[in-house]
Structure 1
Amino acid sequence: DHVGFFTVKNMPVGSCLIVASKNELVGNAEFKVEKGEVVSVEIILGESVVKKSDLVGWILSILILIAIILLIIWFILKKKPKKSKKEVKNEDSEEKRSKQTLALMKTLSEKEKKVVDFLLEHKNKASQAKIRHNTKVPRTSLTRVLQSLERKKIVEIQKEGKMVSVKLTKFFLGKE
């Protein structure tokens, strides 16, 4: 019933354990049943029980919330273009470039601009390997780009064994 009384007729002989709970409280009692005996047992509800399913649910909710917040922060930081020192140098060096250099830059393809910009940032000379690694232009494409720039008299290519050095021409820099 609503108070907690119950009766069991025909209980087996031996030791028994009764566990009772209400809301978050729990209690238990152990007793022995003998043949033909009537037993009355009182259980005191005193131990508090935290429902593990509720605790697990809260922990999972908090972890999911933290993960969502971290993802949002990561996307925000990823989208913001950071102005690096190279970009600041590019802005300063663009002001210092000659009119001829700027005019020739406008005629170049995207990959050619990448290579020329890299050379301008690195004192007008670099090895082909450094250019390839920093500009992320594939090896064959870079070879073709460098040949094209050499035909346009923008770069000079010097081969020393396996080492290929590339430098900007005086014509391109406007020093002639």
Structure 2
Amino acid sequence: MMLVPYYRSAVRQFDNRIRAVGAGQWTSSTPDDDWDVQRLVRHVINVQNRFAAGVTGRPSQATTVDGPALVDDWAAASASSTQAFAAITDWSVPAPIPTGRSTLEDLGWLVTMDLTVHAWDLARAIGAHDELPNDLLAAVLDRAKQAKDRWFRPEAFAPSIPVPGCTDDLTELLALSGRNRWWRPA
């Protein structure tokens, strides 16, 4: 299945950024006006935990820690979710997504998109390198455009931002999720 390498790439991107969060940056603002770095990271950890729990049948654990302790929770959640991704043999199995039911493949791509976009969010929030691998962006953008009505629900994402026809994949993916590519902390 082509999804697993892209998911692993998204995990590496987020992992690189979370390990770069400085001691005073956990309360820094992010491109999502309602979230600081801690809340963003908790969201990502909880998504990884829910995915792994849904695949393995084990109960999902929500993280309750703050600050640097989130790095350890992230390491455990991403390891568990990566194992769950690798263990899937039938991606056509029905699975819940926030807007209803779909397949494990659709859910897996949604989780990969979420992780990719939030790796960028985290990079921008902490002033880290915000470029992402071209192959990851192209694959995630392709899936996101196909699933935009299912994935980008108004209660979870800001409205999409129109972009010119010839723009790069990162700018287009971020615009689909209601993010301005040139966002900077205030």
User: Same fold, TM exceeding 0.5?
Assistant: no
Structure with the higher strand share, 1 or 2: 1
The structure with the largest alpha-carbon Rg is 1
Report the TM-score when normalising by structure 2: 0.28
Structure with the higher helix share, 1 or 2: 2
Report the TM-score when normalising by structure 1: 0.30
Q: Which has the higher contact order (CA 8 A, sep 6+)?
A: 2
